Amino acid sequence: MTMIGEQQVDAVARPDDPAPRHSTARRVLMCSPDHFTVSYRINPWMHPAVPTDTDLALAQWGTLLDTYRRLGIEVELIDPIRGLPDMVYAANGGFVLDGVAYAAQFRYRERAAEGPAYADWFAARGLRVVRPRHVNEGEGDFLLVGDTIFAGTGFRSAPASHREVARVFDREVVPLRLVDPSYYHLDTAFAVLDSAGGPASVAYLPRAFDAASRAELERRFPDAVHVTGEDAAVLGLNCFSDGRNVVVANRATTFARDLAARGYLPHAVDLSELLRGGGGVKCCTLELRW
């Protein structure tokens, strides 16, 4: 049994599940929220007039870090930089695949310095860094399913960055247009549950996408999990999966039950303070595919 908030969820795969769930090794990059606060507004979640609690953010982030380590996920850390309160959202720092790091170029000046900071970290670890020509916000808008990169646009990453990513990685890139400003990055409305791919390998919020994108998602993932508006509104889709274990917002209870019913093991964490900046589990997690 798995605890989701105050409820127990049966997380054992049913005999009629299409396939057993298997964990695969993961390595991720995270950044401690030492300087986290909400001092400007660049998304609908941010309200600078409402005080934030940096100590609480640190404690909640620490629980996420401990959860990853307990699950056997290898965690690398980048040093936080004073004056960059959103650096904790490491997923936006770039997109790493096949030993190549496609660096970020942020849309808003408040986050602009994060791009070079993450690029320098990648370079120091021996990755080949590709400096972008177009606005993109890293793994916030680029998610890998099988051999295909799904790429978000509409609020942050420019469509031209999709073509650039296709050239850099020589992979199929599928554009998806976001239409709800509350879900301004792809990873707030679309979650990869099984990176191997397949018709049931993702979850998403249909109304976050335009009609053409919804049709594409339905075609490629006919058995996807569709989350409720309530679970999406606590960034439940902003989760991280190793193929079996799914670390998910503790208030996304219906989504967690749906995951358990499909044989996944949900692990609930509370990142309510970091949600004030518009980020959740996945926002704090950049996958390193070396």
Which amino acid belongs to residue 210? D
For 256-273, how does the pLDDT look when each residue is reduced to its tens digit (9 = 90+)?
Answer: 999 999 999 999 999 999
Task: Report domain extents, the chain.
Answer: 23-287
SS3 label, residue 3: strand
Task: Count the helix, strand and coil residues of the chain and give each as a percent rounded to the nearest 5.
Answer: 30, 25, 45
Please report, rounded to a whole number, the percentage of residues in the chain having pLDDT higher than 70.
Answer: 93
Active site residues: 185, 283
pLDDT for the residue 15: 39
So what's the pLDDT on residue 16?
53
52-82 per-residue burial string, b: 16 or more CB within 10 A, e: under 16: beeeebbebbeebbebbeebebebeebebee
Please determine, for residue 9, whether its predicted confidence score (pLDDT) is greater than 70.
no
Model's pTM, two decimal places? 0.93
Least confident of 1-10, 28-37, 173-182, 221-230: 1-10
- What is the SS3 assignment for 239? coil
CATH superfamily of 23-287: L-arginine/glycine Amidinotransferase; Chain A (3.75.10.10)
Residues 176, 177, 183, 184: what is their CA dihedral angle, to the nearest 10 degrees? 100
Q: Are 245 and 255 in contact (CB under 8 A)?
A: no
Cα separation, 219 vs 147, in Å, equals 17
Decide if pLDDT at 141 tops 80: yes
Q: To the nearest whole number, what is the mean pLDDT of the chain?
A: 94
pLDDT of residue 20: 84
Question: Which tens digit of pLDDT belongs to each residue from 12-33?
Answer: 444 355 568 999 999 999 999 9
Asked which of 16-20, 84-88, 97-101 is least confident by mean pLDDT, the reply is: 16-20
